[in-house]
Amino acid sequence: MITKKRIKARLVLLSVLMLASVGCQTIPQTDNPDEEEASSKPQIPAVDVAIARIDTLNNTIEYIGTTQPVREVGLRSQAEGQLLNLAVNLGDRVTQGQLLAQLDDGLLKAAVSKAQADLAIQESEVIQAQAEVNAAITDVESAKVQLEQAKVDVERLQELYEEGAIAQREVELARTQYRTTKQTLIGAQSQVNVRKSAVEAAKGRVIAQNALIDQEQKRLSYTRLMSPITGYVLQRVIEPGNLVQPGDEILRLGDFSQVKIIVPVSELELSNLRVGQSVRVRLDAFPRDSLVGRISNISPAADPIARQVPIEVILPNPSQKIGSGLLARVNFYQGESQPVVIPETALKVSQELSRGGRGTIFVVTGDQQTAIVRKRMVKLGEIKDGKVEVLSGMQPGERFVSRSSSPLQDNQSVRLSVLSE
């Protein structure tokens, strides 16, 4: 009996424990109410944002070229001397008229000083020659007075001789004196001309000396090398301390206000190209930038072996961020208008996609903290290789959602993913 009672007691106890356990499981968990409230809030979707760019879906040929400055200038010395200083380094920006290099100018300064001293001597020679001219003119005036007096004496003695007051010999002496005075006057007048010629010769030497001074001063100015253009330093050819000869290149400068690209094009494409035509350029250094240039020159001479014609393309570079030696991919296309191309994943289409159809995209406004999407209908063009042409309704440079973690609604807040542009 005792054993049966114990067994019954144990069964009753086990039943009570099982009921208690079931009751505990039905009690709601209210230990963390914040988690329940957070789980009830709507989640903000994460989106990948891209930038709309002009592109084409056609398989057009891209020609490879290298960027160059639109103008490249070698700064060369026009004087001989030791290079004392270079004021710029490789890659420095320079402006037109800026002092870039200085040569030793000691000998040239001495030459200018000597030329100026010689000029002072020659100017004094002009003054002296002019004084001699004035003295010769005075002698002429004196000779004129003496000649006039001799003429009067001859006339007076001739009257006295005719009256018998004097002998003829005195009249002859007066006439001889008159002739002598006349010759003296002629000689004095000749001296004036000679002295005037000396003055002109001295003045000529002064003019020549002034020209020599100008030449020496110009040679002296060649010791200061100024930048002929506004641009950047591409190369330092000669370093300070070296002896420079006239014609030696010291610096190489490049003008990057525009960029030049020369690409060889097949002769079969030549009939489709013209000067002034727009071209599309992609730079591997700036893959997100869509650049448009123009054909500035078509070479008249083709390579006789490869049958390719060099085409020169000019690309605007207002910010001057495009440097030299960058790989450029040039695509020649007809017409100025090019569509915006976006990935097909950016569309939320309500009908079958086809050329001329319409679709829905979400444009992004605001920044990381305040990003909002706006629903927009766009007109679609060709669809190819996962890309779609947008013919209207979207402008290049606008930001749009390329992918989303969940369906989007108009005016909805979103989070920008790390893959966003």
Strands (E), 299-348: 308-316, 327-332, 340-343
What is the C-alpha separation between 179 and 146, in angstroms, rounded?
11
Q: What is the pLDDT of residue 345?
A: 80
What is the C-alpha separation between 156 and 175, in angstroms, rounded?
11
Q: What is the pLDDT of residue 19?
A: 44
Please check whether residues 117 and 210 belong to one and the same domain: yes
Please check whether residues 300 and 364 belong to one and the same domain: no
User: Does 211 fall in a domain?
Assistant: yes
- Whichever domain contains 162, its CATH number is 1.10.287
Q: What is the pLDDT of residue 154?
A: 84
Return the structure tokens found at 133: 């001219």
User: Does 125 fall in a domain?
Assistant: yes
- Kindly report, residue by residue over 121-155, the tens digit of the pLDDT: 999 989 998 998 898 899 889 888 988 898 888 88
Query: Does residue 58 carry a pLDDT above 90?
Result: no
Please check whether residues 86 and 164 belong to one and the same domain: no
Which SS3 state, helix, strand or coil, does residue 113 take?
A: helix
Q: What is the pLDDT of residue 30?
A: 46
Q: What is the pLDDT of residue 412?
A: 84
Please check whether residues 227 and 96 belong to one and the same domain: yes
b/e for 233-250, b at 16 or more Cβ within 10 A? bbebebeeeeebeeebeb
User: Does 348 fall in a domain?
Assistant: yes
Q: Which of 276, 310, 332 is the last residue of a domain?
A: 332
Could you give the number of structural domains in the chain? Answer: 4
User: Does 309 fall in a domain?
Assistant: yes
User: Does 251 fall in a domain?
Assistant: no
Please check whether residues 98 and 111 belong to one and the same domain: no
Reported confidence tier of residue 29, pLDDT bands at 50, 70, 90: very low
Please check whether residues 130 and 207 belong to one and the same domain: yes
Comparing 25-39, 93-107, 297-311, 373-387, the range with the smallest average pLDDT is: 25-39
- Whichever domain contains 228, its CATH number is 2.40.50.100
Reported confidence tier of residue 64, pLDDT bands at 50, 70, 90: very high
- Whichever domain contains 344, its CATH number is 2.40.420.20
Contacts of 161 (CB under 8 A, 6+ apart): 167, 168, 170, 171
Per-residue pLDDT averaged across 395-406, rounded? 85
Give the HSE-up count for residue 47: Cα atoms under 13 Å, Cβ half-sphere.
Answer: 28
Query: Does residue 33 carry a pLDDT above 60?
Result: no
Reported confidence tier of residue 241, pLDDT bands at 50, 70, 90: very high
Return the structure tokens found at 284: 């591997």
Please check whether residues 388 and 376 belong to one and the same domain: yes
Please check whether residues 88 and 232 belong to one and the same domain: yes
Please check whether residues 393 and 306 belong to one and the same domain: no
Q: Of residues 337 and 238, which shows the higher confidence score?
A: 238
User: Does 36 fall in a domain?
Assistant: no
User: Does 10 fall in a domain?
Assistant: no
Residue 240's domain comprises: 72-105+223-244
Bridge partner list, 401: 49
Q: Which of 332, 367, 387 is the last residue of a domain?
A: 332
CA geometry: angle 270, 272, 274, nearest 5 deg? 80
Query: Does residue 335 carry a pLDDT above 50?
Result: no
- Kindly report, residue by residue over 189-200, the tens digit of the pLDDT: 888 888 889 889
Assess contact for 70 and 314: CB atoms under 8 A: yes
Q: Which of 316, 332, 348 is the last residue of a domain?
A: 332
Q: Return the amino acid letter for 92.
A: D
Per-residue pLDDT averaged across 342-364, rounded? 69
Q: What is the pLDDT of residue 100?
A: 96
User: Does 281 fall in a domain?
Assistant: yes
CA geometry: angle 18, 23, 25, nearest 5 deg? 100
Return the structure tokens found at 279: 């071209």
Please check whether residues 183 and 235 belong to one and the same domain: no
Please check whether residues 211 and 156 belong to one and the same domain: yes
Please check whether residues 152 and 291 belong to one and the same domain: no
Query: Does residue 23 carry a pLDDT above 50?
Result: no
Per-residue pLDDT averaged across 162-169, rounded? 83
